Amino acid sequence: MGLSRAVSAAEDAINRRSVVYLRRRGWRPRIIGLTGYGSVRSLHVLGRVIMADPEADTEDHEVGEDAPEPPISPLDVAAEAQRGWRSFFTAQVGFLPVTVRAGDQTLRTTTDRGGYIDVMVRDHGLEPGWHEVEIEAVAARPVTAKVLVVDPTVRTGIVSDIDDTIMVTMLPRMLIAAWNTFVRHTSARKAVPGMAQLYRTLLDGQGDAPVFYLSTGAWNTVPTLRRFMRTHGYPEGPMLMTDWGPTPTGLFRSGVEHKRTQLRNLLITFPEIRWVLVGDDGQHDPMVYDELAREHPRHISAIAIRQLSPAEQVLAHGTPEAIEQPPARRNATAEHGVPTVQGRDGHALATLLPEVIAERRERMVSR
């Protein structure tokens, strides 16, 4: 614990000096609006403040994200890597005064030590659907961030992992974040066959049912992942990412704890929604999802796990077999009837998942 505190303190000191140095060079705080979410009662507004060169082109995670992606050429590679490098290694502005305006409410807060904005706005007055909220910060240009207000009548939602679930890079797990940041063209990524169609099928007839993309990847990778999802037809939805680096209690943030926390936040925010949890067996998704389903079986419609090939398993964690699976007699299916299906891709899962969801819905209604 002493080492983690020391490393965390060192990181903060280096970042403070970086902010001072960049300010002297004429750089100013820049707000990055991240996609938030909430109900008609409360709203999570997300963002981050980093130092940026005011004379440089505005990054595409702030504006122009919906612009078509130009064809890639060998001449683009160096420029793409340079922009990716800049977005990955940033000087965040911690403890900066921030004002958030969402619907009827104005809330004043500060960024956290990592420059992040994560505030809860209550009684905002926004109707269900997509909206924009305004974020202002001292010495920064105001920006808008998208937020999704979920209709209170919605009863179905999807939570999906990203790497190895909807997208395959065939790289060692430790290199995926760098790949997602530095290699920004969607043509360099491979979509898992059938997954986008599976999600559209599950959402068909469910009104404005939400999709949340839950990942242990860094927030820096969001612009690239957004373009990938648009290119391959995935439904739009908030992305719940994490941050890297030391904390006061550890040298690295726990990806498992990040997923557990975000899943429980969704259950608290949307108590009437029953979720379909989609992940892969390359890391800890089967155990994390099963744990949640055992604790809250009435909130989980089904669990869908993409089975990685032996080669993908090796890249994910070093061995050709899945590293974690719930015990055969002690899991959400055996104890509470929460169905779990597995398949190599979206096409395989589509032959099983809609049917088991319908059967579970009928059983729950009949109780």
Q: What is the pLDDT of residue 32?
A: 92
Q: What is the pLDDT of residue 330?
A: 86
Token pair recorded at residue 63: 């504006």
Cβ contacts of residue 276 below 8 Å, gap of 6+?
Answer: 156, 157, 158, 159, 202, 300, 301, 302, 303, 304, 353, 357
- Which pLDDT score is estimated for 195? 98
> 74-107 in b/e burial notation, b at 16+ Cβ within 10 A?
eeeeeebeebbebbbebbbbbebebebbbbebeb
Cα–Cα distances (Å) from 290 to 215, 278, 303, 325, 336, in that order, read 17, 11, 8, 9, 11
Give pLDDT, residue 188.
66
Query: Which amino acid type is present at position 2?
Result: G
Can you give the pLDDT at residue 293?
97
Return the DSSP state at 234.
P
Question: Parallel, antiparallel, or unpaired: how do β-strands 28-38 and 143-149 relate?
Answer: parallel
Residue 75 identity: L
* pLDDT of res. 65: 45
Tell me which DSSP letter residue 305 carries.
Answer: E
Write down all domains in the chain, each with its CATH number in brackets: 2-149 (no CATH), 156-366 (3.40.50.1000)
DSSP 306-344: EPPPHHHHHHHHSSSS-S----SSSSHHHHH---EEEES
pLDDT the model gives residue 351: 96
Is-contact 151 128, C-beta < 8 A? yes
What per-residue confidence (pLDDT) applies to 253? Answer: 56
pLDDT for res 57: 52
pLDDT along the chain (367 residues), means of 10: 66 83 93 95 95 70 43 46 54 94 96 93 97 97 97 97 89 70 67 97 92 90 87 95 61 75 96 97 94 96 95 84 85 94 97 93 76
Side by side, which strands form the sheet with 300-306?
239-242, 211-218, 156-160, 274-280, 300-306, 340-343
Do residues 26 and 54 lie in contact, with contact meaning Cβ atoms separated by under 8 Å? yes
The pLDDT assigned to 222 comes to 86
pTM of the prediction? 0.87
Q: Look at residue 9 in the predicted model and tell me its pLDDT.
A: 74
CA dihedral 244, 249, 250, 256 (to 10 degrees): -70
